[in-house]
Chain A
């Protein structure tokens, strides 16, 4: 697998190191000359000097045969452009983009740049995972694959309490994949019973949340 990484900041440099450790072929592109010199001391020919939004720089790096392009510069416009060109001009199969300003996430999405990863959003998700505000946490959204994984806390008085997994009337297109109880997770059998305080992980078609939430929260309580 051949990987091109645009931007040799902390993220890009460390990604390159990890991928090289895993025996992937990597080219890292950095446009700041001082930074390039520093990274070159360690990575030598793996890092190339240039602006990865210039088509000839991408071509020199061999984008035509790249399997994966990762755009992790500090500039959202540059990351969008690099990924757009990689995907649409050079037919690169997989792209990953970094979102620096979470407000720009909508632009990545609209222009089909997926997955787009934002450190702010990832950390927010971790915080929400610790402190679920409305009982429901989105753990993972696989937008291209049209799947989501959510976590729900089972609340006192909800229809699911005391029921066996197989008896919970889940909508078609959703499935309980794991239960976390007292800090430990297990994959439940159809006959296992759900208890108050359990964290239930479900995989589902996006959009089914509103039908699923009432099963694990007391009736009449808005989610």
Chain B
């Protein structure tokens, strides 16, 4: 599978590394060139030497998405630090580029819930933390 991940933060870079280890083709895009360092952290060979791709670009710029390989992507993950950016680019991936599987990280539980009702596959770390805290703290 070809996986495109936009946003090379903690989540994006970690998912990218695991996907590459699992034998997938992986392309990562971030607005900040320095974010690339996360991909090389604790690795014996560099991200590119291991077969990964990295593109510097803004996710709303279509040229950047195309350069990062969105037209070939089977899976698209929006994992930038901005909820609204993630929600907009994941809809672009879904509707304009018809990427078969689109996953979007949304920090705000309310927006995550509504957009998931609209057919987006959302992941909400805040909701996960709330649920986990509830289980741990309120366990009798």
- Spell out A's residues near B (CB within 8 Å): 53-56, 75-78, 80-81, 85, 88-89, 101, 103-104, 106-107, 110-111
Stretch at the interface among B14-22, B91-99, B131-139: B91-99
Determine the distance from Cα of A214 to Cα of B118 in the docked complex, in whole angstroms: 46
Contacts of A101 in B (CB 8 A): 60
In the complex, what's the smallest C-beta–C-beta distance from B109 to chain A, in angstroms? 10
| CB atoms of A78 and B114 under 8 A apart | no
| CB atoms of B96 and A110 under 8 A apart | yes
In the complex, what's the smallest C-beta–C-beta distance from A214 to chain B, in angstroms? 33
Contacts of B82 in A (CB 8 A): 77
24 residue pairs bridging A and B, Cβ less than 8 Å apart:
A53-B83, A54-B108, A54-B110, A55-B110, A77-B82, A77-B84, A77-B85, A77-B87, A78-B84, A80-B84, A80-B88, A81-B84, A81-B87, A81-B88, A81-B111, A88-B118, A89-B114, A103-B60, A106-B62, A107-B88, A110-B92, A110-B96, A111-B88, A111-B91
Q: Residue B84 contacts which of A53, A55, A56 (CB distance < 8 angstroms)?
A: A53
Q: Would you call B61 an interface residue if the criterion is a C-beta within 8 Å of the partner chain's C-beta atoms?
A: yes
| CB atoms of A76 and B60 under 8 A apart | yes
| CB atoms of A107 and B60 under 8 A apart | yes
Contacts of A75 in B (CB 8 A): 84
Q: Residue B61 contacts which of A54, A77, A85, A103 (CB distance < 8 angstroms)?
A: A103
Determine the distance from Cα of A67 to Cα of B21 in the docked complex, in whole angstroms: 52
Residue in B closest to A108 when the chains form the complex, CB atoms: B88
Determine the distance from Cα of A87 to Cα of B84 in the docked complex, in whole angstroms: 16
In the complex, what's the smallest C-beta–C-beta distance from A98 to chain B, in angstroms? 14
Closest 5 CB pairs of A and B: A77-B84, A81-B84, A55-B110, A77-B88, A77-B85
Determine the distance from Cα of A89 to Cα of B85 in the docked complex, in whole angstroms: 19
| CB atoms of B111 and A55 under 8 A apart | yes
| Given A54-B108, A54-B110, A107-B92, CB of A77 within 8 Å of CB of B118 | no
Contacts of A107 in B (CB 8 A): 60, 88, 92
Residue in A closest to B113 when the chains form the complex, CB atoms: A55
Determine the distance from Cα of A11 to Cα of B60 in the docked complex, in whole angstroms: 23
Residue in A closest to B114 when the chains form the complex, CB atoms: A89
Determine the distance from Cα of A172 to Cα of B115 in the docked complex, in whole angstroms: 43
Q: Residue A55 contacts which of B60, B87, B114 (CB distance < 8 angstroms)?
A: B114
| CB atoms of B87 and A104 under 8 A apart | no
The listed residue with most B CB atoms (<10 A of its CB), out of A75, A77, A101, A104, is A77
Contacts of B95 in A (CB 8 A): 110-111
In the complex, what's the smallest C-beta–C-beta distance from B63 to chain A, in angstroms? 9
Residue in B closest to A73 when the chains form the complex, CB atoms: B84
